Structure formats: structure tokens, C-alpha cells
Amino acid sequence: MGKRVMLLVGTNKGLFFYTSDHERQNWNLSGPYLSGWEVYSVLGDSRHGNRIFAGTSHAAYGPTIRVSDDFGSSWTQIEDGPSYSKESGFSLNRIWQIIKGHSSEPDTLYAGVEEAGLFVSRDRGATWRELEGLTKHSSRPNWFPGAGGMCLHTILIHPSNPHRIWVAMSAVGVFRTDDGGETWITCNKGLGRVPTGQPYDEVGYCIHKMTLDPNDSNTLYMQEHGGVFKSTDGADSWFPIEDGLNVSNNDPFGFPICTSNTGDSFLIPLESSEKRTMRDGKLLVYGMLKGSDRWEPIGDVVPNEQQHVNVLRDAATVDTLDPYGLYFGTTSGEVFYSLDRGKNWGRLPGQLSRILSVKMWILED
């Protein structure tokens, strides 16, 4: 069977697909799907047929999860999707992340939402329930949002232990469960706090994105508001990994981080928290290749062009093919890709709207 690859691109005005074969040289753009809706999260799921889950939201009409079983031709809303009770006092504003459950749980999905919380479905997405142990954590009264809202944007599952899950929230921090989500501990030792205005140092950490090393499930990487960090003990503690990021007076600021299945990690640093655009208009991708402890400016994405843009936290990804492909979308609606570990970059066709999420889906035809 041949492989078909689909790059799922969520924007603030709908969802788009780029489709190619496994060579990834020629891409066809289709969409918009779900036009007019923000698509903060998207997942292609081939565990039971081919289904796309999209976390849709709107400033006026709020969020729901929509699904398509025909590659976007038609969509249905999930009626029993994530929702907070009136008694909780929380408001569901956006669906920031939808991921598949552990490989041993083929009917399971998780969704991370704003206001920050975690939901699980055990029936392929038909019904969802909140994992209340997280929002009932003793630190909850001291959770505060970042500029993007108080979002649970990252969910990582231990590859051999479905009960160990890490989540990251902005501007709250990292939490870990070892019992499948019933109880949680904070995992923020070593990180830099951000000014949320509250004094309790258990929380108040603005995680932008976090990844798990595919070859070592005790190793995690993080782009945080105030720097770039690594953990080698399952997030019990963190230490900075910033050599080579060439910052003068500012912390290394950026949003996405992604890690390949070979252990290479990539960042797209910005000028600063205050400015949030590319330094000097240069769209540079930095990489820390496996075995190295230093970031290198690996790819000048568009050498002859000023790019005063941003790349949001979920707008970069890496596929699992060999060689792996890197992809990201900008706040100005352009999508770039590299098939040589970030050295050379191409631009995919089309000028989209503000890109919120970029996810790869590999299908066996």
C-alpha cells in the first residue's frame, strides 16, 4: 500500500488540507472547511476508518468538536462534547488540543480546553467527561491566563504506561498524573515564573509548548515564556537548554517546539515577549540535533524576504516518515516545509488566514 500524507492546517477562519504522496514534493491545497470557525485543534485519526476531529470555536458562538468521516466533505457536531457544568463556575471557550489515547486504548481521545481543563472520551469521541482531578487540584484558585487565554494546550502520554500523562497550561504550568488522570501533581521545579500577580510558586509558569522525546520517555523539552528547558526525570525537574540561541538582553522567547522521531528538536525564536515577531525580520529555524547540547540556526526559511510574523504554539509539527518532514504556518497564513532537517525550505501554495494549528496525518491507501 502507498502512503498518503495530509497536512491539516487550522486557521482562525476555517480548516485547510494539503495532500501529497509519501515523497512530499507536490502538494494539493483544499478548503476552506468549516469556514468562519476558528480551528485551534485538529486530529486525523485512522484507528477506526478515517476520521478528522476539529476543535472549532467562535467569539460569539463558543466551541464544539466537529468530525468528518469523508475528508471534510461533510461534518457533524458532537452533541455530548466537552462542557463544564454550571456548578463548576468555569467557561468553555476553546478546544486547544485533541489527541489520540494510548495505543492500548484505541477508543480513547483526550481534549485540552480553555478555561484550562482536560476531557476524555472512551467511545471514539461520541461522549466526553472532564477529568476533574485536575480542575479540583488545590492550586486551581491560583491559576491565571496568559495573553492567549488560560488554555490546556499540550497533552503527552507515556508510550508504555497509559496512566502517566503530562499536561501543560498557560500561564499555569506542567502537571502529571500517574493514575490515568484522577490525581495530579505539579511539575514546575526549575522553571521561571511569569508575573501573574499571585504569590504562590506552585503555579504561575507560562508553558508555550512541550514535547516528549520519542526515544526516552523521561526526557521532555519545553519552550516556555522565559526560556527553553529540558527535563530528564519525567518533569520532576527542569533545567535551561539555551546555548546558541544568541539572546542579548531578552529571554529566549518563542512559541512552538517540535521533536522528531529521531530525537532532533526545533524552535522558531522571536524577538522578545514584548515584540513577538521574527528577529530583524529573519525567519530562522533553530535546531538541536540528537546528541548535541547546543541550538544552531539551521534554516533561513526565506533568505531574501523580510518576514515580520509569528508562529503560534501549535502551528509547527514534524512527521514520522524517513526522512522526516518539518512544517510550520505563520500568523500571516503561509505554510513552509523542509525535508532535510530544516536546512532548506519550500513554501506551500496559498495565502491562508492566521494559522493556529498544523498537524500531520499519514494514511495507508
Partner 1 sequence: MHIEISVPSLLSDCTNGQVKFSVEAEKLKDALSKMLETYPLLRKHLYNEEGDLRQHVLIYYNSENIVQMERLDITLQPGDRIHVLQAVSGG
Nearer of residues 66 and 176 to partner 1, judged by Cβ: 66
Q: Shortest Cβ distance from residue 35 to partner 1 (Å)?
A: 9
104 binds partner 1 (CB under 8 A): no
Query: At residue 88, what are phi and psi to the nearest 5 degrees?
Result: -65, -30
Q: Which of 8, 9, 42, 92 contacts partner 1 by CB under 8 A? A: 92
Q: H or E stretch including 133?
A: helix 132-135
Long-range contacts of 117-125 (CB under 8 A, 24+ apart): 117/82, 117/84, 117/90, 117/152, 118/152, 118/155, 118/167, 118/181, 119/82, 120/181, 124/48, 124/51, 125/51, 125/53, 125/65, 125/67, 125/78
Nearer of residues 71 and 84 to partner 1, judged by Cβ: 84
| Torsion angle, alpha carbons of 116, 121, 122, 127, to 10 | 140
Which residues in 24-43 contact partner 1 (CB under 8 A)?
36-37
Q: Shortest Cβ distance from residue 66 to partner 1 (Å)?
A: 8
Q: Shortest Cβ distance from residue 350 to partner 1 (Å)?
A: 22
Nearer of residues 66 and 102 to partner 1, judged by Cβ: 66
Q: DSSP secondary structure string, 328-349?
A: EE-TTS-EEEESSTTSS-EE-S
90 binds partner 1 (CB under 8 A): yes
Q: Which of 46, 91, 161, 306 contacts partner 1 by CB under 8 A? A: 91
129 binds partner 1 (CB under 8 A): no
Measured at the alpha carbon of residue 328, what is the angle toward residues 324 and 334, in degrees to the nearest 5? 135
61 binds partner 1 (CB under 8 A): yes
62 binds partner 1 (CB under 8 A): yes
Number of residues located near partner 1, criterion CB under 8 A: 21
Length of the chain: 365
Binding-site ranges for partner 1 (CB under 8 A): 36-37, 58-62, 64, 66, 75-77, 79, 83-86, 88, 90-92
